[in-house]
Each structure stands twice: as C-alpha cells, then as structure tokens.
Amino acid sequence: MSLAPAVAERLAVQEIELPSWAFANSGTRFRVFGQPGVPRTPQEKIADAAQVHALTGLAPRVALHIPWDLVDDFGALATFAADHGVGIGTINSNTFQDDAYKLGSLCHSDPGVRRKAIDHHLACVDVMDATGSTDLKIWLADGTNYPGQDDMRARQDRLAEGLAEIYARLGEHQRIVLEYKFFEPAFYHTDVPDWGTSLVQCLALGDRAVVCLDTGHHAPGTNIEFIVMQLLRLRKLGAFDFNSRFYADDDLIVGAADPFQLFRILLEVVRGGGYGPDSGVTFMLDQCHNIEQKIPGQIRSVLNVQEATAKALLVDRAALDRAQRDGDVLAANGILMDAFATDVRADLADWRESRGLPADPMAAYAASGYQARIEAERVGGEQAGWGA
Ligand code: PSV
Ligand code: MN
Ligand code: MN
C-alpha cells in the first residue's frame, strides 16, 4: 500500500517548530544529568535543530527562549539559522526565573515588578522584529500557593492591563500566543490556568491574540481534542506545544505516552481547518530530553507527529459522515479505529525517500557521525534552565 496522493501532498506541507531548550541539558528539580556534546550557545542549538530538519524535512524553524538564547545581534542569529537551512520561530518570554518574580510577574501587586515584566515582553518583540519571528509566546508562572495570599480578581485585571500594553507594541503581522497551565509552579491558583481564561484574555486583546494549547497542561482525563475543536471553531487556536505526559507536565516525547490521544487531537485539527502553514495554527514541540539523547529525541518526536497526522488524514470522511448521520455508532467508531490501526511506517519511509530524505532518519542520524563530532568538539554544554 502507498499513501494516497492527496494524503502525501498534505503531509508535504507539515511544519513543526523545535524548541531550542530541547537540545540543552535539562532535568528535574532533583537532578540535571549532563550529556556530552550539548550546545554551549544559541548557535549550536540551532545547528543541532538543523540536523533534525535535514533528516526529516519536518522542522524548518527553531523557537527561542529569552533570555536563555540571548545574543548581541539577533539579525545575525537569523542569518546564521538561514545558512543552516532553518528559520527562527516563536519567541518565548521568561518571567519565572528572577527573584523579582517570586510572587508573580504581569499579575504581581507591585507596579514596579509588573513594569519589569512588561518591559521584558517588549524586548521580546524587539527580538521578533530582528529575527522575523511572528509569534510571542507567553507562559506565566504567576499564581499563589495559599488562599488569601493575593486578590485573584485584581491579578486578572493587572494581567489584562499588562497584556494590552504588550499587544499594542506588536507589528501587524505579529501575534501574542497565550499559554495556559492548570498548576505548577503555583499550587493553589494559577492566573492563566485553563483555555477559558486564556481565551477571554485573548478576546479582550483582539484578533492577533490567540491561545496556545500545551498538551501536558491539563488535569488527567481532560478531553483535549474537545478543547481543540472549540478553539478552532472560534478561530482562537494559535499554537500547540506538543509533548506527552503520564502524570503532570512531564514534557516527554510526543506520542510516547498516548499515541491514540495524539491521533484524536490531530483528527480535530484536520477537521477544524487547523492543519498547514496557512491555518494560523503553529505546531511546536515543548519537550525536554532528560535521560535520552536530544537530537534523536527530537527526530523521534517529529516523526511521531507525522505518523499521527498521516493516520488522521487517512480517515474516510465521507463514510464517517454517513455513519454519523445514520446514527451508526459502531460503524462510526470503527472508521476512526481503522485509520488509527493502519501501520503507515513503511509508506512514510517511501514518502521520505521519494523526497530525497532518508527512509529512516533515526538510523541516518546514528550513521552520520554528527553526534561523535559534537561530543569531541563541545565541552561544557549549557543547562536549559530547568531543574537545579
Ligand atoms: C512550563 O510549564 C513550560 O513547559 C511551558 O509549557 C512553556 O511553554 C515552557 O515551559 C517554556 O517556557
Ligand atoms: Mn509549553
Ligand atoms: Mn509546560
């Protein structure tokens, strides 16, 4: 069997952004395990990400995190990326590591701290101007640990005010992508805990404020594909942070924990017009490879997204429509399960070869000698910022 031309064509437009921090050392709050050969500079992270794209054809952009990826000349960094065959993607802000942000950033009760947080975001927009990036991703660690610690409603108002100032600074082609997360690092309440809160804040801002759905940021048992459907229906889904989780925000390889959930999410993406570069929905990975090698970890991740997408594209829509209209519960469910159970790996290998890519990108990376080279050349790699 080979992929239908329509499916093959749609797979050709897939783009998945890689997070720069996936290539650096990372860990848990218990331990960061250093790995040989990890990047020491933003340029080396980009060079590693470019390997993933060269071998898969799926990852043409690298998302940066500021200040983890701070350089003097961001225009030069964009040129460096282009010379390596990739571009700069989403710019992620960081208001969770300074002492000043202990009690919050955009939601803090002290106007001085809010000013600092707003200014940081304005500086991130400067980076976007210099790199050509269109998306400013805001994930806030803001929240409280104890009931009564701060006024939740006032914090929501401060957030709206801060976001409005940042939004006003955006260029016409730029967007705010507001990410939600139900808990952690705050344990009692989080200021942007769910898609509803992100949505109402985005609606107050305007058309160029959209929601980011990180697949690891929901309570266990949440029907994530329902959220995908609803946000697409409202044209407010701006981006995915893909990863997988067994317990909380595990940031493991996407598709590793629950490939069926990934398939169901991608089904709604395809169904709702969220697929492809013109859809307004950015696919990004937000993962850390704490114990496995990082470049192959990212290769496996993008291949997992591609595989789930191929299966979602295989669904016989006309037959499904008919079964749904007929109220044929088992037939409708069977149509989905047939697509999910289809082994597309050999077809995808052929598809890759037909495009001049290695049939097996994991094996190609292992044989490339790149890993041995970076291990020999790079000493003293960076920590992404997570963990101790
Ligand atoms: C923290 O939960 C987090 O994983 C968010 O998902 C952000 O997207 C990411 O860190 C980078 O700031
Ligand atoms: Mn995320
Ligand atoms: Mn997260």
Domains of the chain from N-terminus onward: 14-314+358-377 (3.20.20.150)
- Residue-level pLDDT at 32: 95
Ligand 2: distance of its center to the CA of 26 in Å?
15
Amino acid making up residue 311:
K
Tokens 């790996």 map to which residue?
Answer: 345
- Residue-level pLDDT at 105: 99
* Position in ligand 1 atom list of the atom nearest CA 19: 11
Which residue, by CA, sits nearest to atom 8 of ligand 1? 139
Global confidence as pTM: 0.97
- Residue-level pLDDT at 385: 64
Mutate to test the pocket of ligand 1, among 284, 286, 287, 288 (most ligand atoms within 8 A of CB): 286
* Residues 30-57 as b or e (16 or more Cβ within 10 Å = b): eebeebebbbeebbbbbbbbbbbbbbbb
* Position in ligand 1 atom list of the atom nearest CA 181: 2
- Residue-level pLDDT at 328: 98
Q: Which residues pair with 240 in a beta bridge?
A: 213, 283
Q: Which residues pair with 87 in a beta bridge?
A: 61
- Residue-level pLDDT at 220: 96
* Position in ligand 1 atom list of the atom nearest CA 216: 6
Q: CB under 6 Å to ligand 1: residues? A: 92, 139, 179, 181, 214, 241, 249, 286
Which residue, by CA, sits nearest to atom 4 of ligand 1? 286
- Residue-level pLDDT at 386: 54
Q: Which residue numbers in the chain have pLDDT < 70?
A: 1, 385-388
Q: Which residues pair with 138 in a beta bridge?
A: 178
* Position in ligand 1 atom list of the atom nearest CA 92: 12
Pick the ligand that lies closest to the CA of residue 213.
Answer: 2
Tell me the C-alpha distance between 112 and 114, whole Å.
5
pLDDT digits (tens, 9 = 90+) for 64-118: 999 999 999 999 999 999 999 999 999 999 999 999 999 999 999 999 999 999 9
- Residue-level pLDDT at 19: 98
Residues with CB under 5 A from ligand 3 (ion): 249
Ligand 3: distance of its center to the CA of 274 in Å?
22
Pick the ligand that lies closest to the CA of residue 139.
Answer: 1
Pick the ligand that lies closest to the CA of residue 216.
Answer: 3
For residue 31, give the 3-state DSSP assignment: coil
Tell me the chain's radius of gyration from C-alpha atoms: 21
Amino acid making up residue 308:
A
Tell me the C-alpha distance between 317 and 220, whole Å.
29
CA 195 to chain centre: 15
